[in-house]
Amino acid sequence: NTVHGLYATPEDSLEKRAVVYGLERLAASCSRAELLQNPEDLPVLRRLGVPDDRLVLLGNGIDLGRFDPVRVGPAPRHRVRAELGIADDEVVVGLVGRLVREKGIGDALAALGTLARAGRSFTLRVVGSGNAEHVRRLVKEHGLEDKVELLPHQDDAGLPRELARAQ
């Protein structure tokens, strides 16, 4: 069974936690191994009674070294920013992931809304797939229409280029 995150938190209602954790425990009882992306899920599954020898932490499978600014060097950053008309000293924030509540897009937009109201200058580039209409509503709700760009999903070649813009 592959666990892509447990969609219940301690703050959720008892009913939601019971359903989510109950189904996860049932799935675990039908599998030889629980393959986890998030280290935070290990103690939860242990509390649910999943034996340690069936818990395997895989992580997210992304080589973060591919995006290390030191390894990439400044030239791609300068070139990509010049192509987009972004000044070297302009703050560019990048969010990459599925556009779902569990990834924290609403929290990020609320925080950036606070920064915008305080007069901070930045551009947010959101890369991902999912509920773009919901994200657009949140952008409007936080007054960020002129600061946020929603971009489509990027493949493995496009993502380092996009991240170079935000470094």
The pLDDT of residue 166 is 57
Q: Which residues pair with 2 in a beta bridge?
A: 35
64-110 tens-digit pLDDT: 777 777 777 788 778 878 887 888 888 888 888 888 877 889 999 99
Across 137-156, average pLDDT: 88
Is residue 80 within 8 Å of residue 113, measured between CB atoms?
A: no
31-44 tens-digit pLDDT: 999 999 888 889 99
Report how far residue 125's alpha carbon sits from residue 119's, in angstroms, rounded to the nearest whole number. Answer: 19
Q: Return left, alpha or beta for 119; rule: phi > 0 is left, psi -120 to 50 is alpha, else beta.
A: left
Report how far residue 51's alpha carbon sits from residue 101's, in angstroms, rounded to the nearest whole number. Answer: 30
pTM for the model: 0.61
